[in-house]
Chains A and B, each alone.
Chain A
Amino acid sequence: DTEVTQTPKHLVMGMTNKKSLKCEQHMGHRAMYWYKQKAKKPPELMFVYSYEKLSINESVPSRFSPECPNSSLLNLHLHALQPEDSALYLCASSQDPGQVSNQPQHFGDGTRLSIL
């Protein structure tokens, strides 16, 4: 079992819906990440939160809105998504926000999102 928990595991939504993906970790990690992964491709970084503040936004469209309510939780709010946004959305965490590039990230099992 992974120590990063993501809900829901699967989500089907229409292009006009609003939904949220949730991620939780209790390892005391202070860096948290959202990735998008298409089939047979590597994860693509979307956002990085360091000490609950957004530190990296990889030019993600505004229809994806991240939120970090506290050090254990990370949300991704979705609105007006497109069919090409269908993918596996992965959350990860790592211990030290000052070292996002040289420490292991621990991943959840993702939310598989389908846009109709």
Chain B
Amino acid sequence: GESVGLHLPTLSVQEGDNSIINCAYSNSASDYFIWYKQESGKGPQFIIDIRSNMDKRQGQRVTVLLNKTVKHLSLQIAATQPGDSAVYFCAEGSVQAGTALIFGKGTTLSVSS
């Protein structure tokens, strides 16, 4: 089956920097994308989502960018804080496929003070 992957398994940044976490997807029929944050000992927590009719969506300190031409998704975190340290998963969905979300491999973000 097709899957969603991430470019880098780990990302280390300094507090206050902006972070960019990338995700490549392979199913061109995917029309819904979502980012989750998973802290140690916790379940995945919804951060932000985007549908394929948009190329950018902003939340509080986070922005998701979608480039359908190259099948690329990114999560930008502004002014990264130590509390942002976690594993970040992207996931994709396709109404056409009729299945539930497919998760990518995950990127571990480490923020140092």
A101 near B101 with CB under 8 A, answer yes
- Whether B83 sits at the interface, judged by CB under 8 Å, is no
**Minimum distance in angstroms from B106 CB to a CB of chain A:** 6
Nearest A residue to B104 via CB reads: A42
- Whether B89 sits at the interface, judged by CB under 8 Å, is yes
Stretch of A11-19, A63-71, A78-86, A104-112 with 4 or more beta carbons under 8 angstroms from chain B: A104-112
**How many of A's residues come within 8 Å of B, CB to CB?**
26
Task: Using C-beta atoms within 8 Å of the partner chain, give the interface range for chain B.
Answer: 20 to 34
CB-contacts of A85-112 with B (<8 A): 90, 92, 99-110
A48 near B100 with CB under 8 A, answer yes
Q: What residues of chain B lie closer than 8 Å to A6, measured between beta carbons?
A: 43
Chain B positions 98 through 109: 1 when the CB is less than 8 Å from some CB of chain A, otherwise 0: 111101111010
Chain A interface residues toward B at CB < 8 A = 2, 4, 6, 33, 40-45, 48, 56, 90, 92, 99-110
- Other than the known A92-B43, A109-B42, what 6 A-B pairs have Cβ atoms closer than 8 Å? A6-B43, A90-B44, A100-B93, A101-B97, A101-B101, A107-B44
